[in-house]
Structure 1
Amino acid sequence: MCTSFTLHAKDESYMLSRTMDFSIEMAKTVTYIPQNFHLIHDYSSSEMYQTKYAYVGMGALEDHCNIVFDGVNEQGLTAATLYFVNYANYADPQTVTTAVKVAPDMVVGYTLGNYASVNEVKTAFEQNQIQIVDEKNPTLGITPPLHYIFMDKTGATIVVEVMKDGVHVYDDTVGVMTNSPDYPWHENNLNNYLTVTPKQHEPVNWLGKELHPMSQGSGNFGLPGDFTPVARFVRAAYLKNFMPQADDEYGNLIKAENILKSVNVAKGAVVTETDAQDFSCYRSFMSATSQTYYFATYNNQRVRKINLQSLTDLTEPKIFAVDNHEDILDITNN
């Protein structure tokens, strides 16, 4: 589970936002990776690549293995990975001979470290320069089924999904992504909600009786309220479409926060087949314009930020511990 979307403000600032919904805590550290740092790109080989661009994102660094779930690089490329169960299908590592083999959970770090724009990412996938391979994450014990959303500082956005029939790169999207099924299904499903509107319904006459809305929000009737990927996609798309366009980056952040509140998963609301509780571990907001990484966590709703441009002089990685204790401002004596 996860929800993501892009936003565009009046001053031409762009932001990619997401929730990270999972049954284990994922918000432990934010990692800064500098230029010219060596990282592995898969689990089955010892080959390393050297990063071209510095980036920052939520995730961990251990022994030159950087697993980040989302982030932004110094060129303004942003990326996020979300669960794609029952649909994701990757190549056997043994069959990949020419492309760079990338483990599913290393794709975000690899792309942020190597590419400056969505067009470069698109070319890399479409021309088979990189190939996502079927490799288990050692901690999870499974190959994580994932798909990806990318946006750059021009607002260009793509969704990348690797399935049994190959690699699919979707552009000209609505800028929303959740989980299974595939992206085209979700976009087509929006046709079922043509009558959903923020405006009140007008009174009508039935059988000689005037019927009128019971209260505000009658136009929203039919908007799905559950936590399935389908429902969260529709809610995020609805709010992204009808909320007023923000003036600037700060406005994008406020708008994104309020959209994510509609899809935030509380503990106990979703219980998995193994009796684990999925919940929204954290929310992140990546500014492609200022290269700032904002985030808030389930247990600490205070929004924190890390500005990448303030870190680029560093030649070694930097790890930021995530404080998951609620930061409450006491204004009693103000």
Structure 2
Amino acid sequence: MCTSIAMQQGGGLFGRNLDLEYSFGEQVVVTPRRYPLRFRRQPPLDRHLAMVGMAHMADGHPLYAEAVNEAGLYMAGLYFPGNAWYEPEVSPEWDAVAPYELIPWVLGSCETLAQAKEKLARFRPLGVAFAEGLPLAALHWHIADKTGAAVLEATRDGVHLYDDPVGVLTNNPPFPFHQLNLRQYQALTARPPENHLAPGVDLAPFGQGMGALGLPGDASPASRYVRAAFSKLNSPDQGDELTRVTQFFHLLDTVAMVRGTVLTPEGKYDLTTYSCCCAGGTYYYKTYGNSRITAVRMAGTDLESDQPMAFPLREAQDVAFEN
């Protein structure tokens, strides 16, 4: 389970909650411009746009869950079980790319959402695992820059690239359902409600927030989608980057999973292992165990290097004692 949000304020803020019952060995990884990107069926990229994001390092290769490149293009993979479909063989007329290659393949060569859409028009998912013991994850993808957002889904009936006017993605069902489902919540408002039931009767609200009665509060993908959309679309632009980033994490908090509230069929706790926000070439994150925001700046690394730079997560709670 996951939730991804894209905002166009201040040149773009993008990020997600990663909800999982286990760690996948994640680290913040900067892939510099001269690290060779190799693909199973596509030409290599010996020089490319640099990127930063959360990844599992496998034999020295960053397998990104999400990342943003130095041009400000963001891409995230979200869990899409039962619907994601990868092809064991792809015709040569298409650009065959394995799911774990897709983020670097797009972010390494595309500066804008428009360029990414053009590149993905020829994409077909190649159902080949990275290595034995690393099975393919069932995913769909959120792609965004300062101009807007899109959703990429590969299902049995084909590859679909949808415009995303709301700037939110969660999990199942497929993306068109979430857009249709949102129509049921058009009456929600951050303002005090108006008495349309009985205008002649004094039915004054007895508390703040009653304009959003009916906003779903459970952790299902459909409910998280509606809740994230409501919070994002009512979020004001408050100016400087750090203020925007702080607000962004509060938006993610509205759809975060708390340990004990969601159990998997195996009886494990599903929780928000980390939350992140990409803004201005900086990757901000916090973990379930450490609510302090940590930042990794691309500008603070050697982007002309030929080796990825990995930063272990700060997962112990960082408390500032005043006395």
> What TM-score does the superposition give when structure 1 sets the normalisation length?
0.88
Matching of residue 294 in structure 1 with residue 289 in structure 2: no
**Residue number among 269, 279, 296 corresponding to 1:306 in the alignment:** 296
* % identity of equivalent residues: 29
Give the SS at the match of 1:305.
Answer: strand
1:5 matched residue in structure 2 = 5
Give the SS at the match of 2:120.
Answer: helix
1:257 matched residue in structure 2 = 249
> Which residue identity lines up with residue 315 of structure 2 in the other structure?
N
Structure 1 residues 95 and 205, CA gap change in structure 2 (3 angstroms): closer
Cα deviations by residue, 1:58-102 (Å, 9 ceiling, x for unpaired): 11233353201111112221111111112211222x334344432
1:33 matched residue in structure 2 = 31
1:155 matched residue in structure 2 = 147
Structure 1 residues 331 and 204, CA gap change in structure 2 (3 angstroms): same
CA distance in 2, matches of 1:280, 1:13: 26
Structure 1 residues 40 and 63, CA gap change in structure 2 (3 angstroms): farther
Q: Indicate conservation of the 8 Å contact 2:170/2:221, yes or no.
A: yes
Structure 1 residues 132 and 316, CA gap change in structure 2 (3 angstroms): same
Q: How does 1:12-27 map to 2 (within 5 A)?
A: 12-26=10-24
CA distance in 1, matches of 2:115, 2:194: 50
1:95 matched residue in structure 2 = 90
Q: How does 1:295-334 map to 2 (within 5 A)?
A: 295-311=285-301, 312-332=303-323
Q: Indicate conservation of the 8 Å contact 2:143/2:151, yes or no.
A: yes
Q: Indicate conservation of the 8 Å contact 1:39/1:66, yes or no.
A: no
Q: Indicate conservation of the 8 Å contact 1:77/1:116, yes or no.
A: yes
> What TM-score does the superposition give when structure 2 sets the normalisation length?
0.91
Unaligned 5+ runs, structure 1:
none
Q: Indicate conservation of the 8 Å contact 1:78/1:150, yes or no.
A: yes
Cα deviations by residue, 1:194-225 (Å, 9 ceiling, x for unpaired): 1211122346787x975443322211110000
1:111 matched residue in structure 2 = 106
Cα deviations by residue, 1:109-153 (Å, 9 ceiling, x for unpaired): 222222222122111111x1x42212346576543111111122x
Structure 1 residues 302 and 266, CA gap change in structure 2 (3 angstroms): same
| Count of aligned residue pairs for this structure pair | 321
Give the SS at the match of 2:273.
Answer: strand
Q: CA RMSD in A?
A: 2.4
Q: How does 1:154-233 map to 2 (within 5 A)?
A: 154-202=146-194, 210-233=202-225
> Which residue identity lines up with residue 237 of structure 1 in the other structure?
A
Cα deviations by residue, 1:164-201 (Å, 9 ceiling, x for unpaired): 12111112521111111122211121110112111223
Give the SS at the match of 1:107.
Answer: helix
Q: Indicate conservation of the 8 Å contact 1:180/1:229, yes or no.
A: yes
